[in-house]
Structure 1
Amino acid sequence: MSSQDVHVGRVVALRVDEVAMPGGGTASREVVEHLGAVAVVALDETGAVTLIHQYRHPLGRRLWELPAGLLDGGDETPLAAARRELAEEVGLAASEWVTLVDVAVSPGFTDEVVRVFLARGLTVVDREVQGEEEADLEAHSFPLAEAVDMVLAGEIVNGPAVSGLLAAHTVVTGGASGRPSDAPFPDRPTRFASR
């Protein structure tokens, strides 16, 4: 029905929408617009996954996460963004890519959706540190089963990492096959990028 911008920043925008509700009537809904993101379960030939330990100010502590980053506006595909982030954050390239899951991070208030890939056939490449956040990253490898145990123990709480690690474990153990690396991404956020 109507929409009003409250804040437009570098990474997100906040708007308030007046919406017609499915059951009748109207309601105000705050919506955080986001560029969307990608994350990568980088699995080496021994079955170890590379995780990063990174400070996250909203939670006030370091979290174990997958290499990840924002989708750039324009024509960058999710796969191209994943390749870029894997190289920038942990200095790896991969020859095999599979789409694991798309994660609507918190659809009650944001349109942020993260596409998580499984990457194999890893090789080391030069890492170009892009800024303060990436300079502070600590990368460590864990056997995939240990990373899954960390999820179930509450030691990994980042949503894309939780879902990506569990999905990768399912694929690796033969319970599923994933989707092509260029699978359709119908929930990719577009509103913020089009501003």
Structure 2
Amino acid sequence: MDDNHLIEPDAASDLAPWGQVSSVAAFHNRWLHVTLDTVRLPNGQTYEYTTIRREVEGVGVLGFNAAGQVLLQREYRHPVNQVIWQAPGGLTSPGEDRACAARTA
């Protein structure tokens, strides 16, 4: 990386916050919330900034067998339209202990 992209720690205080022009809740379901914000940058330009917030937590488990091999599961995943190998896991229920959820993943 060239020095033109480096910011000295003291120079970071010169960075100005973005001003929010508008905010729209674009999508919401039980798993996630999508917000589209129009912001004004310090140079005066406006920019659309998308934020995706998960509404629930999830857990993933990296398991090993007695031989030290990683255990994976095969599962159909719709976003990629194929069966893939992945670590076991899943979403947690509100208030559910993550360690307990991991044991049932």
Shorter-chain TM-score: which interval? 0.5 to 0.7
Which residue of 2 is the match for residue 43 of structure 1?
64
1:83 maps to 2:103:
yes
Shift in alpha-carbon separation, 1:18–1:78, aligned structure 2, 3 A:
farther
> Which string of whole-angstrom CA distances, capped at 9 and with x for unpartnered residues, describes residues 169-191 of structure 1?
xxxxxxxxxxxxxxxxxxxxxxx
* Residue identity matched to 1:65: Q
Which is higher, the Rg of structure 1 or of structure 2?
Answer: 2
Q: Which of these residues, 43, 68, 88, is aligned with residue 67 of structure 1?
A: 88
- Gaps of at least 5 residues in structure 2 are 1-19
Q: Which of these residues, 32, 46, 67, is aligned with residue 52 of structure 2?
A: 32
Could you list the runs of 4 or more consecutive aligned residues of structure 1 that deviate by over 6 angstroms after TM superposition?
A: none
> Which string of whole-angstrom CA distances, capped at 9 and with x for unpartnered residues, describes residues 41-63 of structure 1?
11122212221111111111001
* Residue identity matched to 2:84: L
SS at match of 1:83: helix
How much has 1:80 moved relative to structure 2?
2.7
TM-score normalised by L of structure 2: 0.63
How much has 1:28 moved relative to structure 2?
1.2
Identity %: 29
Aligned residues: 83
User: Aligned Cα RMSD in Å?
Assistant: 2.1
CA distance in 2, matches of 1:4, 1:79: 35
- Gaps of at least 5 residues in structure 1 are 86-195
TM-score normalised by L of structure 1: 0.37
SS at match of 2:83: strand
Name the structure with the higher strand share: 2
Q: Which of these residues, 2, 7, 18, is aligned with residue 38 of structure 2?
A: 18
CA distance in 1, matches of 2:43, 2:96: 40
Larger RCO, structure (CA 8 Å, separation 6 or more): 1
* Residue identity matched to 2:101: A
